[in-house]
Structure 1
Amino acid sequence: MLTGRTIVVTGAARGVGRAIAEACAAAGARLVLADILEDLGRETAATLPGARFLPLDLADPDSVSRFGADVAAHEGAVHGLVNNAAIATGIGGPEFDAIEIGTWDRVMTVNVRGTWLVTRALAPLLVASGSGRIVNLASDTALWGAPRLLAYTASKGAVISMTRSLARELGPRGVGVTCVAPGIMRCEATEYVPEARHRLYEDGRAVPGAQVPGDITAAITFLLTPGALALTGQVLPVNAGFVFT
């Protein structure tokens, strides 16, 4: 499905990003993995054929610039970008008026500005490939208005809006841009989430139960294929029916 295509996955060291990388590798892709967790990222890349790892800090524009330059120098063209890297703080935590300004700013810096910066850095390579695809990871929290999670919800709402605008800007150049909005998953990154929050999702899904990273990878690998261009601009809530759109 992805044979001969070079795919970049951010936040690929563990959890959702690692599952996406594994699925892309199984589909035949050549991979560039990026994460701020360097040791873990290198370990992940070492387990996947045709994968290499690059450090990336979305909060640091210079880091993004170095990353983009390295990919351009070594890959030439990129066929797919999965903007997965993000931070989530305070799930089920403080109400909107108790969020610290520093927390708000960091979430927006990483999740929104960081996604834009990586996209900007790699867009010329995606255009050059002739069939570039971008898949942004949002969250269904932005679709149903999850309470006590305003910074993260707002950031993922911004990612959805960015997806739609980028689809219109990059479409004339042959690049498709889509968004996957999963529900909360059981993985390393969500171990701190209160059990009651997990149960809210798991009991409220049309198909009840936990969602794990492997549940969303088939949708993402398809969206990275040349045949997915007609879906550009769309947001897919891959969440076992917690939210319908």
Structure 2
Amino acid sequence: MSGLLAGKRIVVTGAARGLGWQFAQDIAAQGATLVMLDILADELQRRCADLLQQGYQAEHLSVDISDPGSVTAAFATLARGGGIDGLVNNAGLATGVGGKNLLDHDIELWDRVMQVNVRGTWLVSRAAVPLMSSGSAIVNVASDTALWGAPRLLAYVASKGAIIAMTRSMARELGERRLRVNAIAPGLTRVSATDYVPAARHQLYEQGRALAGEQHPQDVSGSVVWLLSGLSGFVTGQLLPVNGGFVFN
């Protein structure tokens, strides 16, 4: 199959829904062999079956990215199929994390967000890197909330800020292996995980963008494909806001 990612084997976490599902579809359409990871096992299986029915190359593994044992087991299984050429660290916790200010934030919620979004990104990257060879790429999914300091969303904002910082450190460490690490910072996107967001916050984004209007998963996915492809072969350690110009970087 031809395409920008032909011949590559690429892993996408959180691939069953939202942005991850859009990334999975577009990566498969660009000729990659896709490995879909998610904690939502039944939905993940259905999504993978959809892609296989369309003639794409795809496989799936259920994993809890916050659980070191689950990540290790998943990547041990994945390794039996060979190496990987790309990783999209998309899985994360967003639903229900907003609404409280820093004085009222629950310690349990804070710890859970950090466990999934920050530790999970590290655990998956740690498991993936040994399977990567020169020229492979990692794309971490951050958020533009970490660039403008979205209020009443402190744990989420802090976790996405950590991912931006991790991206730069990872790029420095992995550059000697000729591995590239970049991050994207999407704006508020219309997916099921953002249904809980108040209408006023959606309106703030939609009216404040240089490209006014709603943001949808397909508006974000092309940047991920580009960062995984050889077209960005000398780009590493960078943050790319993909938000219609709500925040400039």
Identical amino acids, percent of aligned pairs: 56
Q: CA RMSD in A?
A: 1.0
Aligned residue type for 2:148: W
What's the TM-score once normalised by structure 2's chain length? 0.95
**Structure 1 residue 32 displacement after superposition:** 0.3
The Cα offsets for residues 139-159 of structure 1, whole Å up to 9 and x where unpaired, read as 000011111000000000000
Task: Note if contact 1:9-1:81 (Cα within 8 Å) is conserved in structure 2.
Answer: yes
Partner of 1:18: 21
**Structure 1 residue 59 displacement after superposition:** 1.7
Name stretches of at least 5 consecutive residues in structure 2 with no aligned partner. Answer: none
DSSP-derived class of the 1:97 partner: coil
Aligned residue type for 2:32: A
**Structure 1 residue 67 displacement after superposition:** 1.1
DSSP-derived class of the 2:211 partner: coil
Partner of 2:7: 4
What's the TM-score once normalised by structure 1's chain length? 0.97
By percentage of residues, which structure has more helix? 1
The Cα offsets for residues 54-110 of structure 1, whole Å up to 9 and x where unpaired, read as 001012111011111111112x21000000000014455000111110000000000
Task: Note if contact 1:6-1:80 (Cα within 8 Å) is conserved in structure 2.
Answer: yes
Partner of 1:184: 188
**Structure 1 residue 244 displacement after superposition:** 0.3
By percentage of residues, which structure has more strand? 2
Alignment length (residue pairs)? 242
Partner of 1:46: 49
DSSP-derived class of the 2:223 partner: helix
Partner of 1:214: 218
Match among 79, 90, 114 for residue 84 of structure 1: 90
Give me the whole-angstrom Cα distance separating, in 2, the residues matched to 1:120 and 1:228.
Answer: 23
Give me the whole-angstrom Cα distance separating, in 1, the residues matched to 2:131 and 2:74.
Answer: 13
Give me the whole-angstrom Cα distance separating, in 1, the residues matched to 2:74 and 2:97.
Answer: 30
Aligned residue type for 2:202: H
**Structure 1 residue 21 displacement after superposition:** 0.4
- Asked if 1:36 corresponds to 2:71, the answer is no
Q: How does 1:135-214 map to 2 (within 5 A)?
A: 135-214=139-218
Task: Note if contact 1:175-1:229 (Cα within 8 Å) is conserved in structure 2.
Answer: no
